[in-house]
Amino acid sequence: MNQDIYLSMWGPSEFTTTGTLKGADLLPLLPQISIPALLICGEHDEASPKTVFRYRDALCRGEAAVIPDASHCHHIEKPEIFLAVVRDFLNRCG
């Protein structure tokens, strides 16, 4: 977690974007990604499942997984489930 990069790209607050990503909308570019892509979120994530599914649907070969009873730190809260999802994806795509 590099704070210098985070502050430059996002800004000092989770709630107001002031960095270089302010106003960025890359959703229209996602169909150009032709390789398999896995998006993972927690059931109670600030990056909600609804949002993640929207991005997944924009990808040519997108997949999404929702970690139950987890938040934005799903990889820390539910590491066994997170690793199982990633391993399965890599085994199928690798």
Domain ranges of the chain: 25-93
Average pLDDT, the chain: 95
pLDDT digits (tens, 9 = 90+) for 25-80: 999 999 999 999 999 999 999 999 999 999 999 999 999 999 999 999 999 999 99
CA distances from 24 to 8, 27, 28, 36, 83 (A): 14, 9, 11, 23, 30
Angle at 47 between CA 79 and CA 68, to 5 degrees: 40
Residue 3: partners with Cβ closer than 8 Å, 6 or more residues away: none
Give the count of beta carbons closer than 10 Å to the beta carbon of residue 78.
Answer: 19
Q: Dihedrals φ, ψ of 64, to 5°? A: -135, 145
Q: How confident is the model at residue 88 (pLDDT cuts 50, 70, 90)?
A: very high
